């Protein structure tokens, strides 16, 4: 992608809090690629008015084996039998899906329920889903997805054999539109409440930082080796980085920007 932003579409145009919105490619990819589970939505059948949403494991990447490849979203997950069937039964360019990645970074507790909110980061993409059929691209995508869970994991496990690769489905979503939104700050209350001692002296206001935390690795009953560095370091680094971000956001006093919608 020559441009470093996705183009806005009617579906990804921000109507409120525009200063929190972004079409920046790096921002969007970063939210997707550091979120442990993404949500994938689609219409299972033309006769059914209800969309479904499946939790899956996904990563955005650009396949290096094809010079013309653009960044796409690759999905894998055993909850995906319906999506696999749909992907296999649609012609080019695939069937329309939406994928979202969300991280909750803090609970913002204001003086009044009306101003309660979250610190969060969320990214959304829309695109066409199709099964990856090229074996080289499929293997590359499985390595990308496996290493996204724990970096280095692919090299530290028994490589898949031919039967396993054949039995594994990877879905590739060509991205049509994408956007991100975030909030990272202290709560905001109204002047009338800050000046009202009956309110300001009665209630606590602040942020409870939130992050995804990893515990001490628990060996499988059949495991024979000690916890390897790639796992131990992943746990240590992730916890430190996630806590640092959530605590930073909880105390962040943003420089006031003029809102475009004001």
Query: Which residues ranging from 183 to 242 are in contact with a copy of itself (CB under 8 A)?
Result: 186-187, 189, 193-194, 199-228, 231, 234-235
Q: Which is nearer to a copy of itself, 73 or 111 (CB)?
A: 111
As given in the structure block, the two tokens for residue 60 are 């955005």
Helix (H, G, I), strand (E, B) or coil at 42: strand
CB of 23 closer than 8 Å to CB of 4: no
Q: Which is nearer to a copy of itself, 25 or 38 (CB)?
A: 38
Strand partners for 108: 117, 207
| Cα-Cα end-to-end distance for the chain | 33
| Contacting residue, 22, 59, 87, 122, with a copy of itself by CB under 8 A | 122
Residues in the chain: 262
Min separation Cβ 13 and a copy of itself, Å: 10
Min separation Cβ 71 and a copy of itself, Å? 18
CB of 42 to a copy of itself, least distance (A): 7
Q: Does 88 sit near a copy of itself (CB under 8 A)? A: no
The residues near 169 (Cβ < 8 Å, ≥ 6 apart) are: 76, 80, 84, 87, 131, 132
- The residue among 1 and 53 lying less far from a copy of itself, judged by its C-beta, is 53
Q: Does 8 bind a copy of itself (CB under 8 A)?
A: no
Q: x/- site string to a copy of itself, residues 63 to 82, per CB under 8 A?
A: ---------------xx-xx
Contact 125, 32 (CB under 8 A): yes
Among residue numbers 98 through 117, which ones bind a copy of itself (CB under 8 A)? 98-100, 102, 104, 107, 109-114, 116-117
Our finding on whether 30 is near a copy of itself (CB under 8 A) is no
- According to CB under 8 A, which residues from 144 to 163 bind a copy of itself? 146, 149-150, 153-154, 156-160
CB nearer a copy of itself, residue 67 or residue 222: 222
Residues 173-191 as b/e (b if ≥16 CB within 10 A, e otherwise) read: bbbbbbbbbbbbbbbebee
CB atoms within 10 A of CB 122: 18
SS3 246: helix
């Amino acid at each position: 992608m020559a441009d470093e932003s996705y183009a806005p579409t009617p579906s990804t145009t921000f109507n409120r809090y525009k200063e929190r919105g972004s079409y920046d490619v790096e921002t969007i990819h970063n939210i997707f690629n550091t979120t442990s589970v993404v949500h994938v939505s689609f219409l299972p059948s033309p006769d059914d008015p209800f969309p479904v949403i499946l939790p899956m494991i996904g990563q955005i990447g650009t396949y290096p084996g094809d010079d013309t490849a653009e960044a796409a979203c690759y999905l894998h997950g055993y909850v995906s039998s319906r999506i696999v069937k749909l992907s296999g039964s649609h012609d080019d360019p695939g069937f329309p899906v939406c994928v979202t990645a969300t991280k909750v970074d803090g609970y913002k507790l204001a003086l009044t329920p009306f101003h309660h909110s979250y610190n969060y980061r969320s990214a959304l993409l829309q695109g066409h889903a199709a099964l990856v059929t090229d074996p080289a691209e499929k293997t590359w995508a499985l390595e990308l997805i496996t290493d996204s869970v724990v970096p280095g994991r692919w090299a530290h496990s028994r490589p898949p054999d031919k039967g396993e690769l054949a039995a594994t489905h990877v879905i590739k979503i060509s991205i049509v539109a994408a956007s991100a939104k975030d909030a990272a700050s202290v709560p905001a209350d109204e002047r009338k409440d800050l000046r009202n001692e009956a309110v300001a002296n009665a209630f606590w206001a602040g942020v409870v930082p939130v992050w995804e935390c990893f515990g001490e690795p628990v060996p499988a009953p059949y495991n024979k080796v000690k916890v390897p560095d790639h796992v131990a370091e992943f746990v240590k680094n992730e916890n430190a980085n996630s806590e640092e971000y959530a605590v930073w956001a909880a105390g962040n006093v943003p420089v006031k920007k003029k809102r475009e919608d004001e």
